[in-house]
């Protein structure tokens, strides 16, 4: 089983925010698959299954995403985990891939690392960062601005294709073809 996790926060007020880019990607991926929703309270998230693929949107809020990932991981004996998340350390529209590494201060990744360890594939979607570190909490919970929104659909589609390829191909293969420096 391969588990694809999109990080975000539940609720309409967060739906179009920078921090929810992972949820947006899972929604786009699901459009290309015949799936069944198999959510249970024990999974702490919205879980969808399509053949040997699982798609998860944790409903624990970002800071406790690991609780949901671990529940699904253990129940389905997941062999490969791909986590899609926003990344402040990359400019808007950048796309990078890696296995493991630090959390970069991302609370969702910190949580996942604490529950299942850090050796999972990461699809890092750059959202840029505000001028001052103190603005980070409000910045990630804001909607994309007008300029960003103009590039959002193409970027999401590009990342969707890369993630689909990552399911059955090596990180190096995908990174060499789909990494982006910016929008």
pLDDT tens for 90-102 read: 999 999 999 999 8
Kindly state the average pLDDT of the residues 43-59: 98
Residues with a catalytic annotation lie at 19
Residue 17 has pLDDT above 90, yes or no: yes
Instruction: Say if 161 falls within a structural domain.
Output: yes
User: What average pLDDT does range 35-45 have in this prediction?
Assistant: 96
Of 70, 71, 29, 69, the residue nearest 53 (C-alpha): 29
For residue 183, tell me if it sits in a domain: no
Cβ(22)–Cβ(83) under 8 Å?
yes
Residue 151 lies in a domain: yes
Residue 75 domain-assigned? Answer: yes
114 within some domain: yes
Tens of pLDDT, residues 102-127: 888 899 999 999 999 999 999 999 99
Report the mean per-residue pLDDT for the chain.
96
146: pLDDT strictly greater than 90: yes
86 located within any domain? yes
Residues spanned by the domain of 18: 2-178
| Phi then psi dihedrals of residue 49, to 5 deg | -125, 135
36 is a domain residue: yes
Does some domain include residue 79?
Answer: yes
CATH number of the domain encompassing residue 117: 3.40.50.1470
Q: pTM score, two decimals?
A: 0.97
How many domains does the structure of the chain reveal?
Answer: 1
pLDDT of the residue at 25? 98
- pLDDT at position 40: 94
What is the structure's pLDDT at 126? Answer: 97
pLDDT reported for residue 183: 79
> What mean pLDDT is predicted for residues 139-166?
96
């Amino acid at each position: 089983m391969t588990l694809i996790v999109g990080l975000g926060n539940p609720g309409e007020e967060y739906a179009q925010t920078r921090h929810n880019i992972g949820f947006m990607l899972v929604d786009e991926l699901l459009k290309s698959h015949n799936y069944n929703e198999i959510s249970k309270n024990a999974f702490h998230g919205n879980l969808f299954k399509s053949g040997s693929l699982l798609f998860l949107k944790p409903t624990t809020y970002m800071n406790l995403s690991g609780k949901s990932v671990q529940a699904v991981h253990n129940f389905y004996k997941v062999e490969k985990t791909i986590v899609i998340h926003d990344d402040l350390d990359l400019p808007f529209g950048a796309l990078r891939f890696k296995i493991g590494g630090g959390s970069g201060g991302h609370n969702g990744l910190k949580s996942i690392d604490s529950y299942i360890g850090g050796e999972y594939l990461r699809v890092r979607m750059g959202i840029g960062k505000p001028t001052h570190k103190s603005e980070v909490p409000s910045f990630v919970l804001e909607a994309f601005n007008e300029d960003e929104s103009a590039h959002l659909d193409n970027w999401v589609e590009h990342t969707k294709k890369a993630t689909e390829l990552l399911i059955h191909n090596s990180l190096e293969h995908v990174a060499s073809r789909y990494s982006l420096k910016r929008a």
